[in-house]
Amino acid sequence: MKKHMLLFTPLILITLLLPADLNASDIGVAKALSNAFADIAEDVSPSVVTITSEHVYKHPALDQYKGFQEMFPKQLWPFLPDGNREMKSTSLGSGIIISKDGYILTNNHVVEKGENIKVQFSDNKEYDAEVIGADPKTDVALIKVDAKNLKPIKMGDSDKIRVGEWVLAIGSPFSGSLSQTVTQGIVSATGRSSVGLNDYENFIQTDAAINPGNSGGALVNLDGELVGMNSAIASRSGGYQGIGFAIPINLVNRIVEDLQANGRVTRAWLGVYVQPVSAAMAKTLGMDIAKGALVQQVVDGSPADDANLKQLDVIIEFDGHEVENSRKLPILVSTQRPNEKKKLKVLREGKIKTITVKLGELPDEVTAAGPLEVEKSDIGLTVENSSAERLRFYNLAPGSEGVLVTSVERDSEAYEKNIRAGYLIQKMGPNVKNLSKVTTSRAFEKNLQAYNPDDTILLLVRRDNANTFFVALTIPD
């Protein structure tokens, strides 16, 4: 009896949730939506493939058994683990057909280090594939099969996608036998960064079920257009928990152009290090709301240096796109091409300025606009004059100006905001317009005494010979 009750419970709940006056018109709307999903799935599924690749490796755990064969009868030797024995693992993923002549999109992690890459189509035909190029920084790869007259997917515009919009995810979760699996959900967020998956992150977040094996599959809108490539899930169990991430197709297309042409990606370079604008920082900068990317350092000889960008500028717009936060700037810059001229809007000393910059090519060793990690921070520190001996002790360049931080209380705001012993405080003031150099510990303490509790003070801090950052601290009671 209990078993039957369990079966009927969902039906009872559904009945209770349905409106009492449900009519033919309401049912017609539901059927129309259902048919729309079915039509999209039918149209898009032939453009989504299953990808498998093999990876040969030596299992490190087997090394511990090397040399112990003599302890066992010879009859057992063939069955003993061998430290030199090669092992194979197979990775599973999905892919998206983008051309009739065999070009296919997928994630870099699906084919990275892979051998014997196979692509299975919706009609169960299987082809060998070669990697044309890959970009680990965005987790995008382009592969090709020797096939003709394939059905490429219809491209959409990921810049137009809206939070709350319905989307379908198509791929091969868990195994190749589950290929062409279609799940439905909404776009739950856009512009997701700091997820910790790639160097350049601008994910579409969705609650459409995405599981291992869906990587490289298609995220499409209700027009059946590709708006994203499924890439990862946020999960504590390894399975679907309502948060999946897809790479916007506009970003993917930019990468693919380079991979098809050169097999590698070239990125534009601005040449600034930036940090977030906190609420306290905004107050010192004369901003009503905290937004934009605060320039904490301009690289000598960089495009930003040539364009006369300055420390303490707040970049609020790049090439017509709003820079909501410091994480947005690297993505905006990296999707451009070297030698292009772009206009920036910056807030400098309370005034908006428009600056034209000619972008360079990103050197291999840096990130496009790479934010230096700066954590939030409070006052509770002691300083001393920066003598030559003490500068040498902390590996700072001789003649560096500022007062040397000698200790920081662990429960202070300064410690929370990443100020440490051995750093130099070079400038201080109530806001961006009134920053002055600090040369002696006595001057530092005197300046502090001029502030009242709950006032905000802005500090320019040098952490080593190359990196500086700004910290806004609140004077404690």
Just list the catalytic residues: 109, 139, 215
The whole-angstrom separation of Cα 461 and Cα 425 is 5
What residues pair up with 416 in beta bridges, in sequence order? none
Distances 40 to 28, 170, 244, 288 between C-alpha atoms, Å: 18, 10, 20, 45
Q: Could you tell me if 415 and 408 are in contact, meaning their C-beta atoms sit under 8 angstroms apart?
A: yes
Q: Could you tell me if 226 and 249 are in contact, meaning their C-beta atoms sit under 8 angstroms apart?
A: yes
Q: Could you tell me if 105 and 215 are in contact, meaning their C-beta atoms sit under 8 angstroms apart?
A: no
Burial of 30 per CB tally in 10 Å (0-12, 13-18, 19+): exposed
Q: Could you tell me if 413 and 377 are in contact, meaning their C-beta atoms sit under 8 angstroms apart?
A: yes
Tokens 């230096």 sit at which residue?
Answer: 372
Burial of 371 per CB tally in 10 Å (0-12, 13-18, 19+): buried
Strands 268-269 and 272-276: unpaired
Q: Which of 388, 459, 448, 364 is nearest to 419 (CA)?
A: 459
